[in-house]
Structure 1
Amino acid sequence: MNALTLAEAAALWRGILAHTTHTIEYVPPDTAWGRIAAADICAAHPYPPYRKSPFDGYALCLNGKERSYEVVATIGAGEHYDEPVLPGQAVRLMTGCAVPRSCQAVVMQEAVRRQGKRIELTTIPLPEDNIIPIGEECLSGEVLLSQGTYLTSGAVSVAVAMGNTAIPVYKDVRVLLVTSGRELVMAGQERQYGQIYNSNAYLFQQLLRNEGIRSAAFCHVSDAPERLASEIERVRELAADADLILSTGGVSVGLYDTMPQLFQHLGARELYRRIAMRPGSASYGGLIERKGGNAVPVLGLSGNPSAAFNAFHLLAVPVLRQLRGEKRGDFPVVTCRLNGNLTKENPVDRFVQGRLSFAQGQPVFTPNHVVTSSALLGLKAANALALRPKHSPPLTNGAEVPVLLLRRI
């Protein structure tokens, strides 16, 4: 099977998952973060719902050019004053307070001189000065969060501000994460010569959490052919209710790369075995059909940390977001100034890990020192991928380079 380009693979998955059905459920606000809105969330009332003060001060019933006002009441946040305020009278109020209906302006407390129950203005305000109007941010019925929105903490706070106690979200995706390789041991276990710690297990569980997946089933399998049968049954049991199977390792062309065999025994139909990109070319795509339910994507990524990191963001994240019902599946592209050199030849599309930062207000991309498939230490700071199309010429320090920012904005 020929290698697919990344664009071809993305289009393939979009087509396959276009008819995925999503179940809607309602959750309390404290569990809505990271979920996907299943319906438009609209403003039940204008915001703010009353005229309010932007700071501590005095609400005035204006009296021409008079500078002296009588203070008739004091109110704090959450309180309101409903008595008539006559011309030449004032109400002391705190930040966020509702401005009495008969007051036309607010002055800062620092802008007055007070003696007893009277204040003297240093300047004469105009009508509506320093009053935040009703509906400044939105009017009743406006769509605040559209269907398919990833619910950040700020988005949840907006939903709550509109009085929502139950947030409509899509039922979350259940992920099975499988790592592969007899050379891997978990943190805390004794490591023998020739073995390494299973860093991918921790890397991808956290990357899944970053996508809003709070928990994922996990198992590790060896790549020993004699254990294949028992490991198939173990994975089959864990995959019974999975909506997505994600694996790292065992998908290349080595003698012990048995993950494609395992996927085949699970009923997966192979879609591709290779993507024309570096690092991350060793990538398996498959699909398990289920009667009466959605098909289950199977994404087998390289076991090399750098390659797997790239493939997760470029291949797995768009699939995961579409499965979850999110409307936006891509990452933003930022044109950056290159801090370093990118001179490696590109027979296929290359995605160079590094860090996007800012210098004098301009975006700068600093590539990792080591950019091989098996590189590990650069992951500690990587937040972006430089896009290097195949056969593109070398880039030197200071050149412009398009960069994929691996963050939501």
Structure 2
Amino acid sequence: MISVEEAIALVTQHAQAKSESELVNVEQSLGKTLAANLFAPISLPSFRQSSMDGYAIHLHDSNSYTLTGEVKAGDASNPRLQSGEAIRIFTGAKVPDSANAVVIQERVKKSADKIILEIQPKIGDNIRQIGEQIAEGSTCLPKGHRINPSTIGLLQSLGLAEVQVKKSLRAAVVVTGNELVEVGQSLEEGQIYESNSAVIASALAAKGIQDISQIKIKDNLEDTISQLGDALERNDLLLISGGISVGDYDFVGKALQELKVDEIFYKVLQKPGKPLFFGKRGNTYVFALPGNPASTLTCFYIYVNLLIDLISENSDPGLLRVKLPLAADYPNPFGRALFLKAKIQNSQVHILDHQASSTMISFAQANALAYIPTDQKENPAGALIETILLPYGS
């Protein structure tokens, strides 16, 4: 059995970046990684733009200005203002070349075709200058940037319909267990609804992976070997939920041996998620995740998430980690490293109830995982602990 730190190091060591890239629709690029530096095809803004509703003016020595017209957002007109003249203007509208300031409407008194300013503006007030956000031709996003919703907005504001990203992985999600029943079917005594496939597939989709197959296998060695063998041939990443422990009906480990998957590590000194397997056959990576739902998701966030980022050459691989104080004492008598579902509130880490590996209610409420190393046995309130920020924290 190895430590968490050793397991992370081995995932990092064996991850090989994919060189292939692909052109995808910007609207379908969420979670993917830029394959090259992105250069701005236009400036943002591409014209002098009003940042407020108010009046564009040509400054002079008096606070009194003559009102000569109006420019709305989207208008292409460029009225010429003489010194002491003003036009009504709205947020986002093109500021005339001859205007050198915009005064917000709340600081203006209007009377017929005259306005009186309550303040003395300065040149450039409330005008967004050409290229103020991004200059045409400049690098606006670097290679390795992971595309988020804000990125999509930026790309579209630059007029980009497609973007070059690292080629997405093909992934298979395998769940095992005779006790599992699909949602919508009736439960018999001793059965449970299967949820891990949806959890893993959703987490993969959030990483920009769209080619995801889902496979259900009963507890049978021959079927396990056959279906895992087919999945290994067809995918870059194979995620197996359940069947990796040492029970009489846990056949995943035996099947992986039969299929000549090279074991990189098996079992990590952590809670939850001890019976975690990581291996590789050819160019296909394999994680056999513990079957308990909280264990599955914990292992995904700590190890699978990291592997995907490294393969995709994400410039910031893995989830963000910060040091924050514990809100209450939390001893660690287990002899294993702990990943605890937690909630960050008022800059403190609150360890949630329901930490069992079979329980998802605390994960649904968490926005972080609190990490307590194996040898860190006493953890008093106020102690700084490593806190891993979850991508979809509540």
TM-score (norm 1): 0.89
**Cross-structure match for 1:188:** 184
Structure 1 CA distance for aligned equivalents of residues 335 and 293 of structure 2:
21
Structure 2 CA distance for aligned equivalents of residues 192 and 340 of structure 1:
42
**Cross-structure match for 2:89:** 93
Alignment partner of 1:48 is 2:32 = no
Structure 1 CA distance for aligned equivalents of residues 337 and 125 of structure 2:
58
C-alpha displacement at 1:79, in angstroms? 1.4
**Cross-structure match for 1:370:** 354
Number of equivalences: 393
Structure 1 CA distance for aligned equivalents of residues 94 and 313 of structure 2:
40
Amino acid at match of 1:379: F
Alignment partner of 1:148 is 2:144 = yes
Post-superposition CA distance 1:293-336 (Å, at most 9, x none):
xx110000111222222211111111122233322222222233
Alignment partner of 1:82 is 2:62 = no
Structure 2 CA distance for aligned equivalents of residues 393 and 271 of structure 1:
29
CA contact (8 A) 2:18 2:166 kept: no
CA contact (8 A) 2:238 2:286 kept: yes
**Cross-structure match for 1:104:** 100
Alignment partner of 1:325 is 2:325 = no
Q: CA 1:180/1:166 → structure 2, altered by over 3 Å: closer, same or farther?
A: same
Give 1:119's match in structure 2, choosing from 82, 106, 115.
115
C-alpha displacement at 1:50, in angstroms? 2.1
Post-superposition CA distance 1:213-260 (Å, at most 9, x none):
33521112122xxx3223422333344321100011111122221101
Structure 2 CA distance for aligned equivalents of residues 138 and 346 of structure 1:
53
**Cross-structure match for 1:344:** 332
- SS of 2:69 mapped into structure 1: strand
**Cross-structure match for 1:233:** 226
Q: CA 1:59/1:376 → structure 2, altered by over 3 Å: closer, same or farther?
A: closer
**Cross-structure match for 1:381:** 365
| Aligned Cα root-mean-square deviation (Å) | 2.1
- SS of 1:205 mapped into structure 2: helix
TM-score (norm 2): 0.93
Structure 2 CA distance for aligned equivalents of residues 370 and 404 of structure 1:
18
Q: Runs of 5+ in structure 2 lacking a partner?
A: none
Q: What does 1:215-364 correspond to in 2, within 5 Å?
A: 216-223=212-219, 227-289=220-282, 295-356=283-344, 358-359=345-346, 363-364=347-348
- Percent identical pairs in the alignment equals 27
Amino acid at match of 2:29: A
Q: What does 1:187-206 correspond to in 2, within 5 Å?
A: 187-206=183-202
Amino acid at match of 1:287: K
Amino acid at match of 1:371: Q
**Cross-structure match for 2:391:** 407
Structure 2 CA distance for aligned equivalents of residues 119 and 334 of structure 1:
53
Amino acid at match of 2:31: G
Structure 1 CA distance for aligned equivalents of residues 30 and 212 of structure 2:
17
Structure 1 CA distance for aligned equivalents of residues 340 and 260 of structure 2:
35
Q: CA 1:83/1:245 → structure 2, altered by over 3 Å: closer, same or farther?
A: same
Amino acid at match of 1:47: L
C-alpha displacement at 1:125, in angstroms? 2.0
**Cross-structure match for 1:292:** none
C-alpha displacement at 1:48, in angstroms? 1.8
Structure 1 CA distance for aligned equivalents of residues 376 and 230 of structure 2:
46
Alignment partner of 1:160 is 2:166 = no
C-alpha displacement at 1:95, in angstroms? 0.6
CA contact (8 A) 2:174 2:214 kept: yes
- SS of 1:240 mapped into structure 2: helix
CA contact (8 A) 2:332 2:379 kept: no
